[in-house]
A = this chain, B = another copy of it.
Amino acid sequence: MAAKQTGHAALAALLWEPQAGPRRGPRPTLTLEAIARAGVAAADADGLGAVTMQRVAEAVGVTKMALYRYVPGKDELVALMLDVGIGPAPHPASGHWRADLEAWSRALAARFQRHPWAMAATIGTRVMGPNELDWLERAVAALDGTGLTGAEAIDAAAVLAGNARAMTEQAAAAGGAGPEDALAAVLAGLLRGREDRFPAIGAAFAETVRDGGRDEAFEFGLQRLLDGIEALIAKRRKG
């Protein structure tokens, strides 16, 4: 299942074809969206590992094998879930590229935070769905007229998206009053007694804890990236 080479085209058709015309047999009782939504609900509740064909099938009220009439396999189901879960991009268009990209990035981070499993699902070679491509379109459009090349605009969008994904993931692990606090405690305990081996981290950690450590890694990366993009735009405009 993990290595299903055949099917990029099939997956693309699944994600992009709206619906085939009138067919002969009995009319389907389900829709792709209903199936995907059931999967999203299961993943939101209990993680991506809890998304099983059986469970999704029960959620929509059919047998496990009935799902295979709609979806070639589980990988494709997850791809569908991703596009449905991430949803369409907001269309702010304030007019200024920086404000637009900032809002775009925060909105994307919020989506990832709402669907933590999406980070695990966006790994590896993938076919982009309509919504995902919509997000990319908005970011590239925001950079229109700034003097960046097309490749640079796409790179910028990819980097900003990567930041939102990676840093939100880290935030999800650090924040929340769940058993994740135990993780931070484990790390702190690990550091204790090893300050000689990791002096810089030890000092930084001590300082952070003193200041009331929260994780602003996403915001930090966002601002640094925007500053860097701004510098590039300025350089391009000068010549």
Residue numbers of A with Cβ under 8 A of B are 1-3, 5, 8-9, 12, 16, 46-50, 119-120, 123-128, 133-134, 136-137, 140-141, 144, 149-156, 158-159, 161-163, 165-167, 169-170, 172-173, 179-180, 182-183, 186-187, 189-190, 197-201, 203-208, 211, 213, 215-217, 220-221, 223-229, 231-232
B144 touches A186 (CB 8 A): no
User: Given A12-B190, A201-B140, A227-B228, are A49 and B162 neighbors across the interface (CB < 8 Å)?
Assistant: no
Are A159 and B228 in contact, with the CB atoms below 8 A? no
Given A187-B127, A224-B225, A155-B8 contact (CB < 8 Å): no
Assess whether A208 is in contact with B150, with CB atoms less than 8 Å apart: yes
Establish whether residues A127 and B186, one from each chain, have CB atoms under 8 Å apart when the complex forms. Answer: yes
Count of chain copies: 2
Which one, B120, B153, B226, contacts A123 given CB within 8 A?
A: B120
Verify B217–A159 contact, CB threshold 8 A.
Answer: yes
| Partner among B133, B208, B228 whose Cβ is within 8 Å of the Cβ of A151 | B208
